[in-house]
Amino acid sequence: MVLVALVAEGETLPRPGREALSLARTLVDGGAPGPVVAAVTGPGAVQAGGEAFALGADRVLAVPGREATADRKLLVDDLLAAWEQAGGQEGLILCPGDEAGRELAPRLAFRLGAGVASEVVRVRWEGGRVLAERPAYGGKAVATVALPGPVGVVQVKDRAFEAASPEPGRTGQVEELPAAAGPERLRVVEEVREEAGGVPLEEAPVVVAGGRGLGGPEPFQEELAELARLLGGAVGASLAAVDAGWVPPALQVGQTGKSVAPELYLAVGISGASQHLAGITGAKHVVAINKDREAPIFRRAELGVVGDWREIVPALIDAVRALRS
Q: Count CB neighbours of 232 within 10 A.
A: 11
* Strand 151-156 with 91-95, pairing: parallel
For position 194, what pLDDT does the model report?
67
In our burial notation (b when 16+ CB lie closer than 10 A, e otherwise), range 19-28 reads bbbbbbbbbb
Q: Distance from CA of residue 273 to its chain's centroid?
A: 21
For position 242, what pLDDT does the model report?
97
Query: Mind listing the pLDDT tens digit of every residue in the chain (325 residues)?
Result: 999 999 998 899 999 999 999 999 999 999 999 999 999 998 899 999 999 999 999 999 999 877 766 667 788 989 999 999 999 889 999 999 998 899 999 999 999 999 999 999 999 998 888 999 998 876 778 999 999 889 999 999 988 898 888 998 899 999 999 987 766 677 677 777 766 667 889 889 999 999 999 999 999 999 999 999 999 999 999 999 999 999 999 999 998 899 899 999 999 999 999 999 989 988 999 999 999 999 999 999 999 999 999 999 999 999 999 998 8
Contact 114, 162 (CB under 8 A): no
pLDDT digits (tens, 9 = 90+) for 204-230: 999 999 999 999 999 999 999 999 999
In whole angstroms, give the CA distance from residue 115 to residue 134.
14
Please give the domain boundaries of the chain with CATH numbers for all domains: 2-176 (3.40.50.620), 201-324 (3.40.50.1220)
pLDDT digits (tens, 9 = 90+) for 5-60: 999 988 999 999 999 999 999 999 999 999 999 999 988 999 999 999 999 999 99
pTM of this prediction?
Answer: 0.82
Q: For residue 113, give the 3-state DSSP assignment.
A: coil
CA dihedral 78, 84, 87, 88 (to 10 degrees): 90
